[in-house]
Amino acid sequence: MWGLAKTPELYRCGASFAGVSDIAYMLKDDSDTNARATGRLSMNILVGGAGRDKQAFEQVSPLKNAARITAPVLLAHGEWDRRVPIAHGRKMHKALKEANKEVEWMILEKEGHGIYHEDNREKFYGALFKLLDRTIGPGAPR
């Protein structure tokens, strides 16, 4: 998602499954990583602290820069995701809609941080291939 916001001229479409929409939010969300003190400490060391790195995080936040995205987007998230809670997808979807961007939002039922059920794989990949065909494949404008 950051690529779509940073260099929109390079993309004809974008897709995200279970993506982090904002690093500062990731450091305080209700993920399984944040549920443990060791997880919070390692995130602070490896990624940074929300307080000290707030400005840097905002500059590279897909959520905060959604208005810069010009390509159609497919967003999907597992309803039970504990690694990257679904709130990330919901927030990104809302930001794109508020910026009048073309976005398809998909909640995959009974999924976590992966797509394990065949019907959900068919749903996600069907939508992804349709988007790719329409934007970069045989159905794309030349």
| CATH code of the domain covering residue 129 | 3.40.50.1820
pTM of the model: 0.91
Single-letter amino acid, residue 62: P
Rounded Cα–Cα distance for residues 81 and 63 (Å): 19
In the DSSP assignment, the letter for residue 107 is: E
Instruction: Report the amino acid identity of residue 3.
Output: G
Domain assignment of residue 140, yes or no: no
The separation between CA 27 and the C-alpha centre of its own chain, rounded to angstroms, equals 15
In-domain check, residue 94: yes
Model confidence over 78-126: pLDDT tens digits?
999 999 999 999 999 999 999 999 999 999 999 999 999 999 999 999 9
Asked, for residue 141, whether it belongs to a domain, the answer is no
| 26-71 confidence digits (pLDDT tens) | 888 889 888 999 988 888 888 877 666 778 888 999 999 999 999 9
